[in-house]
């Protein structure tokens, strides 16, 4: 199980309902991954799969 953190410190954030669990991710983390400032490996495979799935639903 992951660490429990104070959500107020992570605003704004998004909740990703992945196959393994619900994940609360700061928007700044996702922006850093998208810009290449942080490695994509910081996100789990189920989280990446769900983000791509939702993105495809929005763009189709």
Average pLDDT over residues 25-34: 94
Q: Please tell me the distance from the alpha carbon of residue 52 to that of residue 55, in angstroms, as a whole number.
A: 5
The burial of 29, by beta-carbon neighbours within 10 Å (0-12 exposed, 13-18 middle, 19 or more buried), is given as: middle
Cβ contacts of 16 within 8 Å, gap of 6 or more: 22, 23, 25, 47, 50, 51
Q: Please state, in angstroms and rounded to a whole number, the distance separating the CA atoms of residues 51 and 31.
A: 13
Block residue for tokens 């996100």: 43
Summarised one tens digit per residue, pLDDT across range 32-43 is 999 999 999 999
Tokens at residue 38, please?
């942080």
Q: For the residues 10-23, what does the mean pLDDT come to?
A: 90
């Amino acid at each position: 199980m992951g660490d429990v953190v104070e959500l107020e410190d992570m605003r704004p954030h998004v909740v990703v309902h992945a196959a393994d669990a619900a994940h609360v991710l700061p928007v700044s983390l996702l922006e850093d991954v998208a810009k290449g400032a942080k490695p994509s490996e910081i996100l789990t495979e189920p989280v990446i799969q769900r983000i791509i799935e939702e993105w495809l639903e929005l763009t189709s």
